[in-house]
A and B are shown apart, each in its own frame.
Chain A
């Protein structure tokens, strides 16, 4: 039961082979083994969403996912969102609208917004609100985050034209 498991995955676009204990969670693989500390651990119970990453594009609480569960999958953390140093439109929107305060929930919120815009490039305010309700932000009161996601959707649409 405690035999290490060999896994291979794509982490932020790079192939990664790792041997993990069966009880090792994805968040520890990311933060400790890969030193990608942008992924935060808040509640460590899959409730607050600070540890959100994308697994094959799906919003995932990395604190409550075993590392072996992502074998063969594509994992995106906040460090994989910008391309060649250029911010993603969602990051641009959070930045230009100061849609963060302490920043501890921000990586998770940005990945949540990325998944939303992939699923629905033209979300209504109500849809954004529903999606953002998956994660906790104790600082901002959410409204500026919702507006940043609206702004990001517009940036993405304009960029696609």
Chain B
């Protein structure tokens, strides 16, 4: 199955995606483009205070404003379970007792026009009693800090396997703690050196161009929703609980998505749209502004402390990791991010002992949630920075130090866990060669840094199911819950299924997502499209083909294993038998549709720390060459090389696009991008103030290399590649800066101010 020598017809190379014509002509329809007859528009009133008691709210004047059909305040939540979240259900649809960040929704209005809705919001009278705020991780953990929640919130701690544990609300302003350990802590005593370093990770805004948006209709007990979500089935379950509504009477459609980068999961625009639609008796469109996106979700800022024990020859012995994630005002997916930030903190290296803990710290800022990399970005930033620092302290080449300790192909990540499905050293060689590592003489102010981004991929305990159907005329239709979010997953499945059917890709289509009929999927996330749902799709195609061949064998009075498919004929020996006439003969004038189901889920396994072994491992090998202006501290990235392992590339251009897009996100995070809080106030709220990378920010030389090592668990040896390219960029650049000018910057972004301050401190120390 992993034999790269097998010639394939539909897999590999680069071909136009199945959504290409729609997307280059403007015909692509996203949730934002949809309208329903009699549709109303929703707008929200958001808190101007970071932390306040909601003393009173009076919306009576708003309810009688022109064009207004429904208003929601806390008085309109009766009969609902009005809070939501992943493990912990702490975020209300609109504020109930308190507001906890600037932008916390307080009320919502549905009106004939957006303008009327905005006018009505102005007539809602709210009286707040301000409370002390905690705007940072440190402030939230101070003994006298104000508490965001005075009482425990409804929630669960999931089952964990050997070595892992979770704690709900272990202390004030910490909503969740994940801990993981293996080996004996006495290992620390055997080390020649223990290095303790602390790293600070910044907080990006997802900045998807299509905002959070939902269109809801509630009629005759049926909730129907069109929304831009990565996880319609998980959302359906959560909405059923929130609205006390039977799951079979909630139908969710997901059109093409204007991206998500992890952010479009669980309840966002949906509860307000549904509740307003229910109250108004008319469909409601709730499309957030981009400012509201900033006030709805972000990445997790983090403080990451690593104590790393090593032998004098550079052998890694033990690591203690303490991660503090800024969860913002509500828990959202923070506990899940903590799991991964904690679990991934020791990186793809061999250790005798590991002891990690990651806390989700609540602050009066925008709630943080899933973001491409999902804890792995934070962990890679800290770990790959520190490994370079250790190499320099020990006088060992940073690449050699990594190679000495890297896990080998198939070697388990930790006890009970699956093995590496890429050769890490081989990947490292690829980027070192490309950047010219160790070649040429060192020039003043220039340096090269490398890093290995690392995360598990495929999600945890994810079931996935797919159906593949083929019509009388050989038209193939794929039904699966994977969402086309930009990553090209629908095209990839089309190629895989075409390959198996021995058919041109033009004969394969992908059905729209509708939770009533689409087979179950847990969500389009965790780079699971290829290694989890991809396997389900492959199995569904094979099951469908088996039916076709069994049918043909019956017709031709032979065994199925004597037959193979070739472009909607079956071939027996040298003879091709077109299928369509055979089908018409048996089923009559209307013909038939064959369909096969495929299912995949990693087995439950209590010996694995996260209760199932990780399906796959995703790596981003990165190398950067920088020039540092010692007068100004400005860092210029001269070269950036990133490389991921697709196992086997289903489409080379799509793989390249994933790596390059992720790398440029990482470049922004490394050099300038980030949400800047001044106390609890987001200073760079809105597009005009928040800088994302533009084409002009690309390094002079920017290369991505898609490796095809062939060890992936997906179809034809493939692996997921959606996140890895982001992970190594910031640490590689920080490592390059130290190589260039001998200063270490341990907080993101790596601004000229920080570099200059470090250079001046270094000069001062020399004097």
Nearest to A98 among chain B residues (CB) is B653
A93 vs chain B, min Cβ distance (A): 9
Nearest to B656 among chain A residues (CB) is A144
What string of 1s and 0s marks CB contacts (under 8 Å) between A31-57 and chain B?
A: 100001111111111011010000000
Q: Out of A96, A100, A136, which one reaches B23, CB within 8 Å?
A: A100
Report if A138-B259 is in contact (Cβ < 8 Å); known contacts: A40-B210, A143-B698.
Answer: yes
Q: Out of A37, A97, A104, which one reaches B209, CB within 8 Å?
A: A104
Report if A101-B694 is in contact (Cβ < 8 Å); known contacts: A37-B33, A38-B27, A141-B663.
Answer: no
Question: When chains A and B are docked, how far (Å) is the Cα of A101 from the Cα of B268?
Answer: 23
Q: Is the interface of B mostly helix, strand, loop or mixed?
A: loop
A133 contacts the other chain (Cβ, under 8 Å)? Answer: yes
Report if A94-B24 is in contact (Cβ < 8 Å); known contacts: A42-B290, A101-B487.
Answer: yes
Nearest to B642 among chain A residues (CB) is A141
Task: Indicate if the CB atoms of B688 and A98 lie closer than 8 Å.
Answer: no
Q: Out of B20, B259, B289, B290, which one reaches A104, CB within 8 Å?
A: B259
**Segment of B11-19, B306-314, B354-362 in the binding face:** B11-19
Contacts of B21 in A (CB 8 A): 87, 95
Interface-centre pick from A94, A102, A110 (highest chain B CB count, 10 A): A102
Task: Indicate if the CB atoms of A143 and B32 lie closer than 8 Å.
Answer: no
B30 contacts the other chain (Cβ, under 8 Å)? Answer: yes
Task: Indicate if the CB atoms of B651 and A136 lie closer than 8 Å.
Answer: no
What string of 1s and 0s marks CB contacts (under 8 Å) between A81-107 and chain B?
A: 110000100010011111011111111
- In the complex, chain A residues 130-155 whose Cβ is within 8 Å of any chain B Cβ: 130, 132-133, 136, 138-146
B291 vs chain A, min Cβ distance (A): 9
Question: When chains A and B are docked, how far (Å) is the Cα of A36 from the Cα of B28?
Answer: 11
Question: When chains A and B are docked, how far (Å) is the Cα of A136 from the Cα of B692?
Answer: 8
Report if A104-B26 is in contact (Cβ < 8 Å); known contacts: A40-B210, A136-B692.
Answer: no
Contacts of B664 in A (CB 8 A): 141-142
A57 vs chain B, min Cβ distance (A): 18
Task: Indicate if the CB atoms of A129 and B651 lie closer than 8 Å.
Answer: no
Q: How many A-B residue pairs have CB under 8 A?
A: 162
Contacts of B653 in A (CB 8 A): 97-98, 144
B510 vs chain A, min Cβ distance (A): 15
What string of 1s and 0s marks CB contacts (under 8 Å) between B247-277 and chain A?
A: 0000000001111010000000000000000
Nearest to B654 among chain A residues (CB) is A98
Q: Apart from A106-B24, A142-B664, what are 6 other A-B pairs with CB-CB below 8 Å? A: A41-B32, A43-B209, A44-B290, A81-B25, A102-B486, A139-B657
Q: B residues touching A (Cβ–Cβ < 8 Å)? A: 14, 16-17, 19-30, 32-33, 207-211, 256-259, 261, 289-290, 485-488, 651, 653-654, 656-657, 660-665, 686-688, 692-696, 698, 702
What are 27 A-B pairs at a CB distance below 8 A? A37-B33, A40-B210, A42-B210, A43-B687, A48-B290, A87-B25, A98-B14, A98-B488, A100-B20, A101-B486, A101-B488, A101-B657, A102-B209, A102-B257, A103-B23, A103-B258, A104-B208, A104-B258, A133-B695, A136-B694, A138-B207, A139-B259, A140-B661, A141-B660, A142-B660, A143-B698, A144-B660
Instruction: Please give me the 6 A-B residue pairs with the lowest Cβ-Cβ distance, nearest first.
Output: A38-B26, A102-B486, A103-B23, A43-B687, A78-B26, A101-B486
